[in-house]
Amino acid sequence: MSQPPEDREWLSFRQALEKAIGVPLGPYKEPQMKRRLASIMTRRALGNWKEFTAAIAADMQLLIDVRDTLTINVSEFFRQPERFADLERVQFPRLLSENPRLKIWSAGCSIGCEPYTLAMILNEINPSGSHTIIATDVDMPILNRAREGKGYHPGEVRATPAHYLKKYFVNEGSTYAVRDEIRRKVTFRRHDLLSDPYPQDLDLILCRNVVIYFTDQAKAQIYSGFGKALRPGGLLFVGGSEMIMRSHDMGFRAAGTSLYQRAA
């Protein structure tokens, strides 16, 4: 049975978009993708996927808007401050008692707010420590912005405690930049969660509000990979609305709000 014209148009659009942005879209939930794209179609008065395909080929800014919409590049420093307070007061001290040189991975780091937040906290509680913070994303333009560590708008630093803002940022008029001493503590690299090898022997992985947009099969693959990447006793920090189903089967146990621990 042949595909309906709309399905063929959608497949053609998705293939063209994958090629243009360099991000495989197969693992993303199709209904959520279509809902996100529908708002752009309405704003641009595009009537169908065929028109959308032609539009992204002709308009680079539209392509950037679509890429950002699908890769969910929304972030801020100290997002959910109570979770980072728990890291600072409880989780980091425990991890440091087990390993004085932590190895941390911020997966799906977007514009860099999360890994820089971690570097600031560790600099406060363990200023002489030498830690490894790896930050990855599949989106190269966003990763390049994160590596620069500047151009952050007031809304992106709104949850930052006042003493952190004063100590670790430079006010550049209408935006903020992370001081070089913190920027140098983070290593950024491109990484696809579904096809690239994972770092190993990690003390902490943060992957927040990323996996929620994937299919169940893709989620299982990613969480299983995280379980193998963590050392025994290491922690996985997920988004507030994310839950790992059958976490025991992947070697985890619940360790607090949004936290899972690799079983010993």
Write the Ramachandran bin of 110: left for phi over 0, alpha for psi from -120 to 50, otherwise beta. left
Sequence ranges of the domains in the chain: 5-71, 81-262
Higher pLDDT, 53 or 160: 160
Instruction: Indicate the range of 68-77, 209-218, 246-255 predicted with least confidence.
Output: 68-77
pLDDT at 225 over 50: yes
Higher pLDDT, 194 or 77: 77
pLDDT at 241 over 90: no
Q: Tens digits of per-residue pLDDT, 190-202?
A: 999 989 999 999 9
Q: What is the pLDDT of residue 6?
A: 65
Mean pLDDT of all residues belonging to the chain? 89
Strands 169-171 and 176-178: antiparallel
Q: What is the pLDDT of residue 71?
A: 64
174 pLDDT band, cuts 50/70/90, is: very high
| H-state helical runs in the chain | 5-21, 30-44, 49-58, 60-71, 81-86, 92-98, 113-125, 140-148, 162-168, 180-183, 216-229
**Residues 205 and 236 sit within 8 Å (Cβ to Cβ):** yes
Q: What is the pLDDT of residue 136?
A: 97
- Which tokens belong to 213? 């947009």
**Cβ within 8 Å of residue 148, ≥6 positions away:** none
Higher pLDDT, 72 or 98: 98
Residue count of the chain: 264
Q: What is the pLDDT of residue 162?
A: 96
Q: What is the pLDDT of residue 108?
A: 92
187, β-bridge pairs? 134
Q: Tens digits of per-residue pLDDT, 135-153?
A: 999 888 889 999 999 999 9
The answer to whether domain 81-262 has CATH 3.30.1490.100 is no
Q: Cα separation of 46 and 74, whole Å?
A: 25
pLDDT at 1 over 50: no
Higher pLDDT, 2 or 186: 186
Q: What is the pLDDT of residue 2?
A: 52
Average pLDDT over residues 129-138: 95
Higher pLDDT, 58 or 22: 58
**DSSP 8-state code for residue 142:** H
4 pLDDT band, cuts 50/70/90, is: low
The pLDDT > 70 percentage for the chain reads: 94
- The 10 Å CB-count burial string (b at 16+, else e) for 11-22 is eebbebbeeebe
Q: Tens digits of per-residue pLDDT, 41-62?
A: 888 888 888 888 888 888 888 8
